[in-house]
Amino acid sequence: MRAFREAVEAGDADAMETLLAEDVVFTSPVVFKPYAGKAITAAILRGVVRVFEDFRYVREINDPNGRDHALVFTARVGDREITGCDFLRVNEEGLIDDFMVMVRPLSGAQALAEAMGAQFDRIEKEARLRSA
Q: What is the pLDDT of residue 66?
A: 80
What local confidence, expressed as pLDDT, does residue 63 receive?
Answer: 86
pLDDT of 65 reads 78
Which has the closest alpha carbon to 48: 116, 127, 122, 99?
A: 116
pLDDT score recorded for residue 113: 93
Residue 10: CB atoms within 10 A of its CB come to 10
- Beta-strand pair 80-90/53-62: unpaired
**Is the predicted pLDDT of residue 1 greater than 80, yes or no?**
no
Residues 75-113 pLDDT 10s: 999 999 999 999 999 999 999 999 999 999 999 999 999
Per-residue pLDDT tens for 8-66? Answer: 999 899 999 999 999 999 999 998 899 999 999 999 999 999 999 999 999 999 887 78
Q: What is the C-alpha to C-alpha distance for residues 125 and 105, in angstroms, rounded to an integer?
A: 30
Residue 114 has pLDDT above 90, yes or no: yes
